[in-house]
């Protein structure tokens, strides 16, 4: 077998897209105008697929903080946290994240992907068991694969199925790591976290919640689904990212367990990756402060996603979940979904195209992510584009 033979299926799929003259994976935003607007293919476009939930990418205070750090500390650290890449800002951010959650400590990673990869590969090994929701993100699956742990999937959002599998583990359940997400990134549905916590209380184990899409969105202070449902104290590890509500790049884990600090000395993705740039750390620290006090932003975000969800529902579209900032329109056939995505872009609306095998149950999705920075008029314009396509299909 040749080195590149494994890519033949992918090459055939790309050829099919080229025949349709649709390239959903090479979209270039030629110019960014604001958190919700850009120029794509020379056309003014509403950005409704960015995960910029609080719209903080253009926040003046965050930009000013980044400028100050850039002037004072330069463009990058040029090293890992274990070598020369730990600056004072990295540690201050960890302390602020821990205080935000009321936890003992935090670890900052270079990306959200690496936060899951680094935590799971360090926490679990070949003699351990991981129980994860079947719809967990690829970074969680990859972290489990890197760890070598025994991986058992339970049915999506099914606490009864989790309990059944914990029961089968017997005494091993007490040291099992349970992995779920707050808001799931594909369909926008939330984990039944109270029921999952009940299972953990009955059988033991440790609970890791990935709040990537719920940080800044849910809870009085924006601490995610764990805060929204009052189970913050039951989460042994909370993982999150800076690349969504915080408007930057990076990731973290917070925990009340003293052993968290030992992860620094055993997590290869943490040890061998250059640390985030000073400007990124500075803007993230400022964004975290805004997020914690961001009740008005969260209220505006809720108004926007409920407005879009209601509009699409009224048109008869099948949506993946109840209202959340992630609104997925469910389609069947892939080519139809591709053309629909392309036609939305032609109408000045950029959203995400999600296709099997990345999607749950083999469905094709048009995925919108709503921002607090969207105006009601922009939400209505997105609805109008969907309505226009509903009329012609």
Choice among 137, 200, 213, 309 that is catalytic: 213
DSSP 190: B
Choice among 139, 185, 214, 369 that is catalytic: 185
Residue 374 appears among annotated catalytic residues: no
Q: pLDDT tens, 195-229?
A: 999 999 999 999 999 999 999 999 999 999 999 99
Residue 244 appears among annotated catalytic residues: yes
Q: pLDDT tens, 327-366?
A: 999 998 888 999 999 999 999 999 999 988 888 888 999 9
The Cα 175–Cα 170 span in angstroms is 11
pLDDT of the residue at 200: 98
Choice among 137, 200, 244, 374 that is catalytic: 244
The Cα 131–Cα 140 span in angstroms is 11
**Which segments of the chain belong to CATH 3.40.640.10?**
60-292
Alpha helix ranges (H) inside 265-374? 268-271, 278-292, 295-314, 334-346
Architecture of domain 60-292: 3-Layer(aba) Sandwich (3.40)
User: Count of CB atoms within 10 A of residue 261's CB?
Assistant: 12
The Cα 326–Cα 224 span in angstroms is 14
pTM of the model: 0.95
Q: pLDDT tens, 127-183?
A: 999 999 999 999 999 999 999 999 999 999 999 999 999 999 999 999 999 999 999
The Cα 271–Cα 277 span in angstroms is 16
pLDDT category of residue 1 using cuts at 50, 70 and 90? low
The Cα 245–Cα 34 span in angstroms is 15
Phi, psi of 166 (to 5 degrees): -65, -40
Residue 86 appears among annotated catalytic residues: no
The string of DSSP codes covering 191-248 is P-HHHHHHHHHHH--EEEEE-TTTTTTSSTTS--HHHHTT-GGG-SEEEEESSSTT-S
**Which segments of the chain belong to CATH 3.90.1150.10?**
7-47+295-392
Q: Is-contact 317 386, C-beta < 8 A? A: yes
What DSSP element (H or E) covers 64? helix 60-73
CATH class of 7-47+295-392: alpha beta
**pLDDT mean over 313-319:** 97
């Amino acid at each position: 077998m040749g080195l590149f033979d494994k890519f033949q299926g992918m090459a055939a799929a790309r050829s099919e897209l080229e025949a349709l003259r649709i390239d959903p994976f090479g979209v270039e935003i030629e110019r960014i105008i604001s958190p919700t607007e850009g120029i794509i293919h020379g056309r003014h476009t509403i950005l409704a697929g960015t995960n910029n939930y609080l719209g903080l990418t253009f926040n003046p205070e965050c930009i000013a903080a980044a400028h100050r750090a850039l002037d004072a500390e330069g463009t990058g650290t040029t090293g890992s946290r274990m070598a020369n890449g730990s600056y004072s800002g990295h540690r201050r951010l960890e302390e602020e994240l821990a205080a935000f959650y009321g936890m003992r400590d935090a670890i900052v990673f270079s990306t959200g992907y690496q936060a899951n990869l680094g935590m799971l590969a360090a926490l679990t090994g070949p003699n351990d068991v991981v129980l994860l929701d079947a719809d967990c993100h690829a970074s969680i699956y990859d972290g489990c694969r890197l760890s070598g742990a025994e991986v058992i999937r339970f049915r999506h959002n099914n606490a009864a199925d989790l309990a059944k599998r914990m029961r089968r583990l017997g005494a091993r359940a007490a040291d099992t790591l349970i992995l779920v997400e707050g808001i799931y990134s594909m369909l926008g549905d939330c984990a039944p976290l109270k029921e999952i916590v009940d299972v953990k209380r009955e059988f033991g184990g440790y609970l890791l919640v990935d709040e990537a899409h719920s940080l800044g969105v849910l809870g009085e202070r924006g601490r995610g689904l764990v805060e929204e449902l009052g189970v913050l104290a039951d989460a042994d590890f909370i993982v999150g990212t800076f690349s969504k509500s915080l408007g930057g790049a990076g990731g973290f884990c917070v925990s009340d367990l003293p052993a968290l600090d030992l992860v620094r000395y055993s997590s290869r993705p943490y040890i061998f990756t250059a640390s985030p740039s000073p400007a990124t750390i500075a803007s993230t620290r400022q964004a975290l402060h805004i997020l914690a006090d961001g009740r008005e932003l969260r209220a505006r975000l809720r108004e926007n996603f409920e407005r879009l969800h209601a509009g699409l529902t009224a048109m008869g579209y099948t949506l993946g979940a109840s209202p959340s900032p992630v609104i997925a329109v469910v389609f069947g056939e892939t080519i139809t979904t591709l053309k629909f995505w392309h036609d939305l872009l032609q109408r000045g609306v950029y959203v995400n195209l999600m296709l099997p095998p990345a999607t749950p149950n083999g469905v094709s999705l048009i995925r919108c992510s709503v921002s607090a920075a969207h105006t009601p008029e922009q939400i209505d314009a997105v609805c109008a584009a969907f309505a226009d396509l509903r009329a012609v299909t």
